[in-house]
Every structure is written in structure tokens, then in C-alpha cells.
Chain A
């Protein structure tokens, strides 16, 4: 009994941690540019596939290069890190192609919504060409890769190691990001740009460099999330990141657009709420995030921890 409860809570916290990663990715970009990057879900997928390949996984029969694999699989933490970096770099490319040209022309912000969606469509379909539409299970259980047992005994309860890893890694990533924002020079610069881009520029901050940094980190967070979920659950085709991208969006609003603590709290709330849905109604789980989101938007549009915005007249 206690085992089931603990496992449920851990599952919830673990997926909540991943939601928080995705939502933080949105938050970084939203706070510096005031726009949503809809390619985030595709970058999530990309992270999952990169992790799979870097761990030594083979391309399936429907892919462009069936049976191909890296000569050696990397250790799990290195694969995860490199996959995140790869997603981050592609995120940077998305910024160059989908956002920068519009920004230069002072175009309507709405347009970047479309271009980033377009970038996501391109990415996902490239993945589909290369890897096929099939699902992938990871070469070995990730816990085994990390030389850890499949399950752990904590306080008399046996729980899956991978979920603990998921939670720990997301926690470390979130902590590192927060620390960077608080302490580092570039992190402070990013907060300054988020507060007021014009003033920040006058103070000598290169806001374009900060924007690029935001996209890099945002892509890395999404890629990391994709890798983690891939290891814990498996990759259900190139589109699997889209639903995480959408849930991340729900978390983003739940926590309040642009709020870092909001994204973390929102992610955990969402993950735990989903975990508490009884198995009999599990089909409805995907609707829960959006039902909560809907309720929050209607009752408190600024989110749980967001600032209420007043229109200037």
C-alpha cells in the first residue's frame, strides 16, 4: 500500500519535473522576447532521438538508414548531456530562421507563432524521414546503463530507479538554471533584458546575445526532457514530443507566463495531479492538464505565481 502511494507520488513528481523543464524552456524565451516558441515540442522529440542514438541505439527498418548505429554507445550521462546540447543548438538555429528575421522587420509577434510552428513541423518530419514513424525502446534500461539496479528500496518501499533519476536530474537542471539566473553575469543580464529590453540595451547589454542564450538553454531543457522521458517510457514516434510541448504550455500558463518559480511549481502540481488519476480513468489523463489550465485561465488569468498585468492607458 505505502509502496503504491510512494511510487505514485514519485511518478507524479518525476513527470512533473520534466513538465517543469519544458515550461522553463518556454519561460526563458517568453521573458526575453514575449513570444512562445512552438518548436519546443519538436526539440523535445529531437532530444529523445539523439539520446537514443548516442546510447548506441539502431535506426529502425522504416528509417532512411536502417540498421545504422554509432560504433560505441556513450555512457548514459554523457549521451544525455550531448543530446541536450544538440537540441540546444537546433533551438539556436530555430531562433535564426524563425524568429530573427521577423524581429529585424518588427513584424507582428503573431507571425513568430506560425514560423516556430513551421520550424517544428520541419523538424518532426525530418526526424520521421530519418528514423521512421515507429516507436523505439532504449537499448538497455537506462538504470542499467548507469550501473544502477532496476529498482531501489527506500523506506521499505521498492520503487523504479529511473523515476528517481528523472526527478534528480530535472531538479539539478532546474537548480543550475536558477543559480545561473541569480548569480552569473549573463544570467543577471538576461533578467535585465526580461525586465526591460530597451533599458538593458542602453546599459550596454547585448540583448541579441541574450536572446540567443535563451534559445540555446531553452532547447537544451527541452532536449533533456525528451531524453529523460525516452529512457523512462520509450519513444513513441517523432510526434511524441508534441504532447509534452503542449503540456509544458499548460504548465507555463498554470505557473504564470514568464515566472521561473511558477514553471517549477506548476510542473509539479501538474505531474502530481496526473499521477493521482485512478487507472480506470487513465484515458482522460491527457485532458486533465488542459482542464486545469482552462480553469486557471478563467479564474486567475495571471497564473498561480504570475504577476497580474494591467493595461496602461
Chain B
């Protein structure tokens, strides 16, 4: 990974976000290269999820600029962000709980070709074929995430770890370039975490993904990521390879000093 590469996929310049009197993020700058697995760590309340909300267009930045392939993302809605190739999962899980597991993915495959409105209206052979392909595509994604056998259950009935994986399947269905994963391993047991780690690397290869991962379980990130950024009280306090981060005195201070 060369940091000097001319056009980063994602570039944050002096990003700030203020909520009333609270400065949730201030002057955060870093860039993410295409194909990279980039980790984001920091104590609770450090501003990690806020940063994801800015990167997915859910909340606008108060200051600074975010560039996607050299183009400003300012003022674009979450759906525009997604269409540009940014997909995300949610820390507190926002599945479509009223739909089946399969339909969660099908709903997210809305850009998959499926005939015109008239085709849908008259249920033409073309429409039926496209629906079949659509469901097959959704099923394939579930297969990849190991959820195929639960395809027809209601999403609300899934086990916790499965829900996290369904969130990833649903985000993948939108065919992203950059996938923002907000604590994908939360609530998983050690062996599930291990599997998830392998799965993420695999998905990145197969779907040409760039990953930006928030995770509390630091060992997982150390193993998975090419580079890491550390946030503390809304500020970027360290940036580098896992080895660099592990040795950084400010990181040690933030983690040991902040957690007592």
C-alpha cells in the first residue's frame, strides 16, 4: 500500500462535526486507498460511528471536505452515496425485521435489472425470468455469508451473529466499492470472530472491496487491517500500520488512560 498513490479512493480533509455544544469530530484527515482494509478504533464516544454517518451521507459534516475518487461528496444524500459505491452496516442493526432474510437482500438488490413497470404489471415471461435471477442472486449472496439455510425465516428471528452477517449481505447486494462495517463482530463468540475475519478477507478478494472497519476487538483488526486510524475524543491521534499503532505511546495512553 503506497500512501503516495495519486488518487485515493476516499480522502478526508479536516473533517469536523459539531452537535450543539459537543464537538464529536474535529480536524480528522486521512485517506483510504482502493483495495485497502482500513481499521478505525478508539474508546466509546470517540466519534467512530459519527464518522461513518458522515461517510455514508446520513449526517453532513460541519466543516472540512470528503472526496470520493477526487470528487466532493458534500450535500449528497445517503442514496447518492450508495449509488457512488459506498455501502454500510449499522452498529445497532437496522435489518428489515418484517421481511424474510431473502427479501432483505432482494430489497437491497433494487438496482438489479428486473424489467420495466409494464413487465411487472403484466407479469411477462421477461419479468418472471428477471425475478428468478434476482432471487438467485440474493440466494448466492446469502450462501456466501453462510445464511442460505435461513433464507426463508423472518429476519427478526435470526441469532445475533447471523443478523450481523445479514447486514453485510444486504450491503454487498448494492454492489459497493467501499464497505463501511460498524462493529461487525460485536456480540460474536471467539470462533465466530475468527470465521468473520477470514470471511471478510475473502469477500474483499471476490468483490474487489475496500473495507473500512470499526471494531472494539482490537486483535481482530490487527490481524485483518493494512492500516489503522485511532480516534480519541473526536480527534485522530494515530494513523499507521498495525505494528506502528501497537507501539504508539498516544494510543497506549488513550486506551489505558481513558478506560479507567
Contacts from A to B (Cβ < 8 Å): 310, 313
**A310 surroundings in chain B (CB, below 8 A):** 19, 59
Q: Which residues of A contact B92 (CB under 8 A)?
A: 313
Complex Cα gap A313–B182 (Å): 11
Bound state CA distance, A313 and B92, in angstroms?
7
Task: Tell me the bound Cα distance from A131 to B134 in angstroms.
Answer: 63
Task: Tell me the minimal C-beta distance from B22 to chain A in angstroms.
Answer: 12
In the complex, A313 Cα to B58 Cα: how many Å?
A: 9
Interface of A is mostly: loop
B49 neighbours in A (Cβ, 8 Å): 313
In the complex, what distance in Å separates the CA atom of A173 from the CA atom of B53? 45
Give bound CA distance, A12 to B90, whole Å.
Answer: 50
Closest A residue by C-beta to B19 = A310
Excluding A313-B53, A313-B59, 7 further A-B contacts by CB distance (< 8 Å) are A310-B19, A310-B59, A313-B49, A313-B58, A313-B90, A313-B91, A313-B92
**Residues of chain B whose beta carbon lies under 8 Å from any beta carbon of chain A:** 19, 49, 53, 58-59, 90-92
Bound-state CA distance A310–B91 (Å) is: 17
CA distance A310 to B58 in the complex (A): 11
Q: Which residue of B lies closest to A311 (CB)?
A: B58
CB A257 to nearest CB in B, in angstroms, measures 19
Expressed in whole angstroms, the Cα–Cα distance for A310 and B59 within the complex equals 10
- Chain A to chain B contacts (Cβ below 8 Å), 9 pairs: A310-B19, A310-B59, A313-B49, A313-B53, A313-B58, A313-B59, A313-B90, A313-B91, A313-B92
Q: With A and B bound together, what is the CA distance between A265 and B104 in angstroms?
A: 46
Q: A313 — which chain B residues lie within 8 A by C-beta?
A: 49, 53, 58-59, 90-92
CB A107 to nearest CB in B, in angstroms, measures: 15
Q: Nearest Cβ distance between residue B64 and chain A, in whole angstroms? A: 20
Q: Which residue of A lies closest to B91 (CB)?
A: A313
Residues of A within 8 A of B90 (CB): 313
Q: Which residues of A contact B91 (CB under 8 A)?
A: 313
- Smallest CB gap from B88: residue in A: A313
Complex Cα spacing A1 to B92, Å: 64
In the assembled complex, the Cα of A310 lies from the Cα of B22 at a distance in Å of 14
Q: How far is the CB of A275 from chain B (nearest CB, A)?
A: 37
**Separation in Å of the A171 CB from the closest CB of chain B?**
33
Give A63 to B19 CA distance when docked, in angstroms: 59
| B92–chain A nearest beta-carbon distance, Å | 8
| A307 CB, nearest partner CB in chain B, Å | 10
CB distance from B87 to the nearest CB of A (A): 15
Top 3 nearest A-B pairs (CB, nearest first) are A313-B53, A313-B58, A313-B90
When chains A and B are docked, how far (Å) is the Cα of A129 from the Cα of B80?
58
Nearest CB on B from A264, distance (A): 24
CA distance A234 to B72 in the complex (A): 63
Min CB distance, A302 to chain B, in Å? 13
**Once the chains are docked, how many angstroms separate the CA of A310 from the CA of B18?**
13
Q: Cα distance A313–B19 when bound, in Å?
A: 14
Complex Cα distance, B59 from A313, in Å, reads: 10
Distance from B34 Cβ to chain A, minimum over Cβ atoms (Å):
26
Per the bound structure, the CA–CA distance linking A310 and B90 in Å amounts to: 16
Q: How far is the CB of B60 from chain A (nearest CB, A)?
A: 12
The CA-CA distance from A169 to B19 in the complex, in Å, is 41
